[in-house]
Amino acid sequence: MERLIEGYRQFRATQWPERRAMFERLATRGQSPQTMVIACSDSRVDPTMIFNAQPGELFVLRNVANLVPPYEPDAAFHATSAALEFAVRVLQVRHLIVLGHAMCGGIQVLLNEAAAPARDFLVPWMRIAEPARERVLQRAPLDPQSECERESVKLSLENLRSFPWIAERAEAGVLQLRGAMFDIRSGLLQMLRPDGGFEPV
């Protein structure tokens, strides 16, 4: 914790004076980000850093394994769906990016539920990606982990389209849905192509 307090002091001393005008502008005018990123909570995957973005540019949601659940309007607490609704219906972002990553601990749980050390919420949450796991295992893959990471990005994009106000906007061409993969080891970003493959940026 002391490391973080010291980090804050450095931020106030060095970055704040340079960024003060920008934050004041954002405070006065409010935020109007063009892009929402759905990324993993993994401490090694920082969308702001990867896209070299500034405060106010990205509306970021991070959860375990960057999953989007299907549209289920009921009385349960849907944190991911609430963030999506805020970004799409209130802020009216133009782009939704599902950012997956290599070596995802959530995907490890998906592939080996029995070994999961935490089961209250983690295992049920990862079951959102069960259709992705099924598709991958049917193909008898060489590398189930990395194929599941990719397939779950595609599944999340499909689930995004189950939200009626996302599907409408995507169809009207005012909202773009994209998938991406970040490789922690190499720092390389790949974007999902319409044909289902991933290509380096």
CB 179 within 8 A of CB 157: yes
Cβ at position 170, least distance to Zn ion in Å = 25
At its nearest, how many Å lie between Zn ion and the CB of residue 24? 35
Residue 44 CB, shortest distance to Zn ion, in Å, is 9
Query: Biggest alpha carbon distance in the chain?
Result: 56
Can you tell me the distance from the alpha carbon of 75 to that of 185, in angstroms, rounded to the nearest whole number? 41
With respect to Zn ion, which residue has the nearer C-beta, 104 or 175?
Answer: 104
Nearer to Zn ion, 87 or 99 (CB): 99
Nearest to 98 by CA among 16, 181, 34, 26: 181
Cβ 36 to Zn ion shortest distance, Å: 18
Cβ at position 134, least distance to Zn ion in Å:
20
- Cβ-based nearer residue to Zn ion, 12 or 44: 44
* CB of 33 closer than 8 Å to CB of 123: no
| Site residues (vs Zn ion, CB under 5 A) | 40, 42, 65, 104, 106
Residue 53 C-beta: closest distance to Zn ion, Å: 20
Strands (E), the chain: 35-40, 58-63, 95-101, 176-182, 189-192, 198-200
Q: Which is nearer to Zn ion, 109 or 175 (CB)?
A: 109
- Cβ-based nearer residue to Zn ion, 26 or 145: 145
| Minimum CB distance to Zn ion smaller for 47 or for 175 | 47
Which residues sit opposite 178 in a β-bridge? 97
Residue 16 tokens, joined = 């704040």
Q: What end-to-end distance do the CA atoms of the chain give, in Å?
A: 36
Q: Give dist(CA 54, CA 47) in Å, integer.
A: 11
